[in-house]
């Protein structure tokens, strides 16, 4: 700690007037570097569709697309063929001459852009599955085979395919408020998901010669058309997911008659596809307190051995959904449990092969119900009639009412015993919470995934963190706590969160981890839980079954909380700055009493604190002249330089007569004035969370708002006036701001703890080093010979 004496009371009064001591660097701040500049110029101008408050405007609109689909799954050839009728309602104020459809399966065509732009990772160390994927991906020629596009009259329509997009040219322009209907017929080859990857596909079980299908993005779907984008027809390259319209679905799925089908929506023909016993179990599950097996383990194992030569058609209907997915296999065990709470009345259901047990029968349906219970607290009641979790080849993927989740136990082929690790258990619970949670974001709060991955993944990962923490005490969440994102925050290999989905670096950290952490910091540190939870729920309520943009989220959070968050969203979402707030110099001031006896004694004490110089120590006891000539000593040898003089005392007494009593009292104050410098080394402005320890053992906790940086974002000083002596200071001692370097957060400084490894050199390592030295010597000799 540095000690400095204030020699004039006027200096103290300046410090008193403001707790922030600014420097000349303030004048150098420009608009470009203003951390607190409002976001207005970066956000779209409010209008009749989207208001300045972040709510939908009074003329907000969105399109409606209804589907009637017949689909057939061929279990012999792993092919899918279908016929659909789309009814497109134009609710926009615009006239449409054409309609775009998404052909996401075209990503798997042999010459697809997604394959051509794929870069090569380092090949020094690659997994077997990685090499297999490299070899097989270019070989597989997937994608849609569009066989027919017709109007409702049956007349062929002109269409153009461009990569993963299909444009249908309408014979008559579709005016605002009008509806058109057309038909599409198609087929395509399914792929083995564990070989080629992706969000859907089949899994082959060699042991019992069976297939398990998880089918998504399987039909031509209407591209979203909305006010801020027009047609969202960016090509599907793999990362930027789906931007879709709400509609009603009527889907008939024809599969082998021994298959069990799980799908978006409600089953319409249970009497034709389920046995009487299964229907009774399903009815009982509606009010059960624990999951009820609709298809038991024994029934599923027996079913694996069958090979039906006939088919069944499963009929599903779903209202007001943006997509449709399904799963089918003869291997499925099926359990279900009803869940009713508030406005929610649904069936939580799990479908899994026996390979998933004992994990799946214990955790899957329970995790579904837990997710709806927790997410509804912060958003809205789950509105759909079913919520499904399916175990198959896809590690984790979400669709309306149905999710695909991958973790399974490990089978010991020698003993036949199945075991699972801690990572697998929590991986399963976590991925189910995450994927079921996607029903809220983006399946209901319908953001543009093709453009902004963070709007669904980031918000959902945040809620996943809250739900995980409510699952059990000290749940090992991967993302959410601020300390878990610091390594990413200080890395140079990153881009801002507000980056298009296809251009993101470190995808998981950027689109999932960082925005989730940002929201948790907002909730716990910036806004507080009460204000945050109200504002976040307001956003969810405003935009359920609608399509929000980032501006709508930013504006709603401010509108519903009365907290200016532009600085936070600017720093966390638009930059790659990180948090690194450091303690700088610490000065201790005390009031100059102006009394010469008091002040000279203070100076003497300060002088005595200095170490004695080395020469003085070495000269102790040596002869000096005044030993023999004491007459050379005088008044100044009897009194040190800190002795007050009568002249100084007279001047002091005269000055005191001119002061009022309150001024005299200030001269006698015993308070300590601590001037503490804080440095922003990371660039991201944040509140300064300060813990103070006093000499008497007591503590004080301070939270200084981020606005302290508003005039100088690099360095600020804070004046603390305390009667007690401060013995220690700590910034962000609970690690709540994602500070990347906590070692500069403490006074006195703390040692940086680490460990080193001891090892015994192996003979082969010694020989290798010896050979490298010989080679180095030979190379050096060759170079010298060349020079000579």
Q: Which of 309-323, 332-346, 422-436, 650-664 has the least mean pLDDT?
A: 650-664
The number of angstroms, rounded, from the C-alpha of 781 to the middle of its chain's C-alpha atoms is 57
| Claim: this prediction has a pTM higher than 0.75 | yes
In SS3 terms, 365-412 reads as HHHHHHHHHHHHHHCCCCCCCEEEEEECCCCEEEECCEEEECCCCEEC
Max CA-CA distance within the chain? 130
Here the tokens at position 109 are 């065509």
pLDDT at 81 (0 to 100): 98
Q: What does the pLDDT average to over 211-225?
A: 98
Distance CA 398, CA 389 (A): 9
pLDDT at 518 over 60: yes
Q: Which of 153-162, 332-341, 442-451, 664-673 has the least mean pLDDT?
A: 664-673
Distance CA 557, CA 535 (A): 5
pLDDT at 24 (0 to 100): 44
| Tens-place pLDDT, residues 101-121 | 999 999 999 999 999 998 887
Where helices occur in 5-85 by DSSP H, the ranges are 9-17
Q: What does the pLDDT average to over 556-576?
A: 98
Q: Which residue has the tokens 């999951």?
A: 291
Residues of the chain above pLDDT 70, percent: 94
With bands split at pLDDT 50, 70 and 90, how would you rate the model's confidence at 338?
Answer: very high
pLDDT at 783 (0 to 100): 55
**H helix and E strand count, the chain:** 23, 33
Q: What does the pLDDT average to over 488-505?
A: 95
SS3 153: coil
pLDDT at 780 (0 to 100): 61
pLDDT at 274 over 90: yes
Distance CA 273, CA 45 (A): 53
SS3 129: helix
pLDDT at 5 over 60: no
Closest CA to 745 of 685, 680, 695: 680
| Tens-place pLDDT, residues 136-167 | 999 999 999 999 999 999 999 999 999 999 99
Distance CA 233, CA 231 (A): 5
The sign one gets for the Cα dihedral 125, 131, 137, 139 is: positive
The sign one gets for the Cα dihedral 402, 557, 380, 59 is: negative
- DSSP classification of residue 576: -
pLDDT at 2 (0 to 100): 39
Residues of the chain above pLDDT 90, percent: 83
CA Rg value for the chain: 36
pLDDT at 364 over 60: yes
Describe the strand order of the beta sheet including 333-341 as a list of residue ranges. Answer: 292-295, 333-341, 344-352, 386-391, 402-405, 396-399
pLDDT at 19 (0 to 100): 40
pLDDT at 31 (0 to 100): 52
With bands split at pLDDT 50, 70 and 90, how would you rate the model's confidence at 9?
Answer: very low
pLDDT at 694 (0 to 100): 97
Distance CA 453, CA 198 (A): 17
Q: Are 262 and 388 in contact (CB under 8 A)?
A: yes
Q: Are 324 and 400 in contact (CB under 8 A)?
A: yes
Q: Are 500 and 451 in contact (CB under 8 A)?
A: yes
pLDDT at 11 (0 to 100): 40
With bands split at pLDDT 50, 70 and 90, how would you rate the model's confidence at 786?
Answer: low
pLDDT at 689 over 70: yes
Who contacts 382 (Cβ-Cβ below 8 Å, separation ≥6)?
344, 346, 372, 375, 376, 439, 440
Of residues 20 and 303, more confidently modeled:
303
pLDDT at 762 (0 to 100): 79
The number of angstroms, rounded, from the C-alpha of 506 to the middle of its chain's C-alpha atoms is 12
pLDDT at 25 (0 to 100): 44
Q: Which DSSP string do the residues of 584-620 spell out, in sequence order?
A: EEEEEE------HHHHHHHHHHHHHTSPPPHHHHHTT
pLDDT at 638 (0 to 100): 85
Distance CA 465, CA 442 (A): 17
Q: Are 699 and 737 in contact (CB under 8 A)?
A: no
With bands split at pLDDT 50, 70 and 90, how would you rate the model's confidence at 784?
Answer: low
Strand partners, 295: 334
| Tens-place pLDDT, residues 695-720 | 999 999 999 999 999 999 999 999 99
pLDDT at 526 (0 to 100): 98
| Tens-place pLDDT, residues 591-610 | 999 999 998 989 999 889 99
The number of angstroms, rounded, from the C-alpha of 556 to the middle of its chain's C-alpha atoms is 19
- DSSP classification of residue 580: -
pLDDT at 23 (0 to 100): 43
Q: Which residue has the tokens 């370097």?
A: 741
Cis amide leading into 207 (omega within 30):
no
Q: What does the pLDDT average to over 663-689?
A: 95
Q: Are 249 and 317 in contact (CB under 8 A)?
A: yes
pLDDT at 1 over 70: no
With bands split at pLDDT 50, 70 and 90, how would you rate the model's confidence at 204?
Answer: very high
């Amino acid at each position: 700690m540095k000690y400095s004496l204030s020699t004039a009371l006027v200096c103290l009064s300046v410090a008193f007037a403001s707790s922030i001591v600014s420097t000349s660097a303030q004048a150098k701040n420009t608009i470009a570097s203003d951390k607190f500049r409002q976001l207005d110029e970066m956000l779209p101008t409010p209008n009749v569709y989207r208001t300045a408050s972040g709510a939908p405007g009074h003329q907000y609109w969105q399109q409606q697309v209804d589907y009637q689909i017949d689909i057939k799954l061929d279990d012999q050839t792993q092919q899918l063929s279908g016929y659909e009728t789309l009814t497109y309602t134009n609710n926009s104020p615009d006239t449409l001459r054409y309609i775009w459809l998404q052909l996401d399966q075209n990503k798997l065509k042999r010459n697809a852009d997604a394959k051509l732009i794929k870069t090569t990772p380092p090949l020094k160390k690659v997994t077997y599955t990685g090499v297999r994927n490299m070899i097989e991906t270019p070989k597989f020629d997937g994608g849609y085979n569009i066989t027919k596009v017709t109007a409702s009259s049956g007349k062929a329509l002109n269409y153009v395919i461009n990569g993963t997009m299909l444009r249908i040219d309408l014979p008559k322009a579709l005016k605002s408020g009008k509806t058109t209907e057309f038909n599409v017929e198609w087929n395509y080859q399914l792929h083995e998901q564990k070989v080629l990857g992706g969000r859907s596909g089949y899994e082959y079980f060699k042991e019992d010669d069976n297939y398990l299908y998880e089918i998504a993005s399987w039909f031509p779907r209407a591209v979203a058309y909305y006010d801020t984008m027009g047609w969202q027809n960016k090509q599907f390259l793999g990362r930027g997911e789906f931007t879709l319209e709400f509609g009603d679905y009527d889907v008939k799925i024809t599969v082998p008659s021994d298959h069990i089908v799980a799908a978006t929506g409600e089953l319409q023909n249970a009497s034709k596809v389920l046995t009487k016993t299964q229907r009774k179990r399903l009815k009982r599950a509606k009010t059960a307190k624990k999951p009820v097996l609709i298809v038991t383990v024994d029934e599923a194992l027996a079913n694996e051995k069958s090979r039906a030569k006939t088919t069944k058609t499963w009929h599903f209907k779903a209202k007001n959904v943006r997509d449709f997915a399904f799963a089918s296999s003869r291997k499925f065990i099926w359990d279900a449990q009803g869940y009713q709470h508030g406005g929610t009345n649904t069936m939580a259901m799990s479908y899994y092969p026996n390979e998933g047990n004992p994990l799946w029968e214990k955790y899957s349906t329970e995790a579904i119900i837990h997710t709806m219970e927790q997410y509804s607290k912060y958003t809205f009641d789950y509105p759909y009639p079913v919520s499904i979790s399916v175990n198959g080849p896809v590690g984790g993927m979400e669709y309306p009412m149905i999710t695909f989740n991958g973790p399974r136990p490990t089978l010991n082929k020698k003993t036949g015993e199945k075991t699972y690790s801690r990572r697998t258990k929590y991986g399963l619970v976590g991925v189910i919470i995450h994927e079921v949670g996607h029903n809220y974001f983006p399946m209901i709060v319908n953001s543009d995934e093709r453009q902004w991955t963070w709007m669904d993944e980031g918000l959902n990962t945040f809620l996943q963190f809250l739900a995980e923490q409510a699952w059990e005490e000290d749940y090992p969440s991967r993302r959410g706590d601020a300390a878990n994102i610091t390594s990413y925050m200080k890395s140079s290999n990153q881009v801002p969160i507000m980056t298009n989905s296809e251009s993101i670096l470190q995808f998981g950290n950027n689109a999932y981890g960082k925005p989730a952490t940002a929201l948790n910091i907002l909730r716990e540190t910036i806004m507080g839980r009460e204000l945050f939870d109200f504002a976040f729920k307001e956003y969810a309520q405003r935009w359920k079954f609608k399509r929000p943009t980032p501006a709508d989220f930013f504006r709603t959070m401010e509108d519903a909380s009365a907290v200016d968050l532009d600085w936070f969203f600017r720093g966390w979402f638009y930059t790659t700055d990180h948090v690194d707030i450091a303690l700088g110099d610490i000065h201790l001031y005390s009031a100059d009493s102006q009394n010469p006896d008091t002040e000279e004694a203070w100076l003497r004490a300060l002088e005595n604190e200095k170490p004695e110089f080395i020469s003085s120590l070495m000269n102790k006891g040596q002869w000096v002249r005044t030993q023999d000539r004491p007459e050379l000593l005088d008044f100044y040898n009897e009194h040190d330089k800190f002795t007050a003089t009568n002249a100084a005392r007279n001047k002091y007494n005269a000055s005191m007569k001119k002061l009022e009593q309150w001024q005299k009292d200030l001269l006698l104050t015993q308070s300590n004035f601590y001037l503490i410098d804080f440095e922003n080394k990371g660039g991201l402005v944040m509140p300064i969370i300060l813990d103070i320890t006093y000499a008497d053992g007591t503590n004080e906790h301070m939270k200084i708002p981020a606005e302290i940086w508003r005039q100088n974002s690099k360095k600020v000083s804070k004046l603390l006036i305390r009667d007690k002596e401060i013995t220690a200071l700590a910034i962000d001692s609970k690690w709540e701001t994602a500070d990347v370097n906590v070692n500069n957060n403490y006074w006195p400084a703390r040692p940086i703890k680490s460990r080193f490894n001891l090892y015994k050199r192996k003979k082969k390592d010694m020989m290798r080093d010896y050979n490298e030295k010989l080679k180095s010597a030979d190379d050096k000799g060759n170079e010298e010979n060349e020079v000579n």
